Structure 1
Amino acid sequence: MSKKALIIIDIQNDYFPGGKFPLDNSEQAGAKAARVLDHFRKTGQPVIHIQHISVKEGAFFFLPATEGAEIHTCVKPLMNETVVLKNFPNSFRETALEDELNKLGVNELVITGMMSNMCVDATTRAAADMGYKCTVVHDACCGASLEFDGVKAGSAEVHAGFMASLGMFYAQMISAEKLIA
């Protein structure tokens, strides 16, 4: 029997306007994630919040004990919801996430969060490799603009590229509206 949990990755203040690393579409993605969170709460399904705390030398956002590192109000955890702290893009690396999922008997993950091209990607790939069935709510995620070897890619293109890549093997892609329906 399948048991789902919602994983909300790094929807934190620094990614929103006024933060130290604002992402295009963070407000829209945060609003979609909030709708998915509300659905999971109403249906009594488990929710796990992932909060990145930067400890790497030279980091400039998600710094310990800063407002920017706090989980954004749009998906603020309730007292009974688990918050897993992480220091790496992969939410499983050196964290209690797998233990929490095992305690809950979860074998299917519904994933939302930020950034599509970093922590959402790393966590989804790791989860699939560990045997979890993964569904990514693509419009409840957003990415950053990138540049490589003189080629610039806007955040929409980066997000689409990572969602397409994950959707080829690692996860089912779904919109927030379809998931809730």
Structure 2
Amino acid sequence: MSGAALLVIDMQRVYAPGGAWATPGFDRAEANILRLCRRYPRRLFTRHLPFSDPPGTWKRYNAEFAGINRDPECARLVPALEALGHLSFEKQTYSALSSGALRAHLLAADYAEILMTGVQSEFCVLATLMDAVDLGLPVTLVWDACAGSSPALDAALHDIAALMPCQVRLATTEEVLNG
């Protein structure tokens, strides 16, 4: 096994304060992720990008949000994270692990621990968490380094993860850094 990796899901400008999909708690999540980045050099960052030829209901999704999808600034990582060294993975669905390069990387790398962070709690973080559990990956959800559309949805992510103590370790940024 090869140490721990920090998985940062979709910390893109579209979710930052002032972005089209500004997410409450984004600043807190970003600050905690930056603290974790100082400790963990194995950084895996994802970005959600639209399908070029979307299947099924993703056609409606892409049509509904065409203006946002066409704006390249929305897709960029926030500046503080963009400036850090990291491996970059693009995804088109909510889960970063439903297919693609990140899934292959994590299965091949055999990390001792994957510290999961990012936005949005109720969509991409939850979907990725569930796929990670299904794949048997050693996940720690750093729940105060995640942000969703509301505090209630952040709490729901925490509560869902707490129901899987054999498969998901729950921790705060402080607990991870002091542990």
Alignment TM-score, normalising by the size of structure 2: 0.84
Question: Contact 2:12 / 2:47 at 8 angstroms: preserved in 1?
Answer: yes
1:119 aligns with 2:115: no
Q: Higher helix fraction: Structure 1 or Structure 2?
A: 2
1:174 aligns with 2:171: yes
Match of 1:51 among 44, 47, 50: 47
Residue type at the aligned position of 1:98? R
Identity %: 25
Alignment TM-score, normalising by the size of structure 1: 0.84
- The whole-number CA distance in structure 2 between the counterparts of 1:50 and 1:136 is 16
Bigger relative contact order, structure 1 or 2 (CA pairs below 8 A, ≥6 apart): 2
Counterpart for residue 8 of structure 1: 8
Report the alpha carbon displacement of residue 2 of structure 1 after superposing the two structures with TM: 6.3
Residue type at the aligned position of 1:52? H
Aligned length: 166
Report the alpha carbon displacement of residue 40 of structure 1 after superposing the two structures with TM: 0.3
- The whole-number CA distance in structure 2 between the counterparts of 1:61 and 1:49 is 24
1:63 aligns with 2:69: yes
Counterpart for residue 27 of structure 1: 27
**1:29–1:78 CA distance, 2 compared to 1 (3 A):** closer
Q: Which structure 2 residue ranges, 5 or more long, are not aligned? A: 52-61
Report the alpha carbon displacement of residue 74 of structure 1 after superposing the two structures with TM: 2.7
Q: Which structure 1 residue ranges, 5 or more long, are not aligned? A: 145-154
Report the alpha carbon displacement of residue 128 of structure 1 after superposing the two structures with TM: 1.0
Counterpart for residue 151 of structure 2: 156
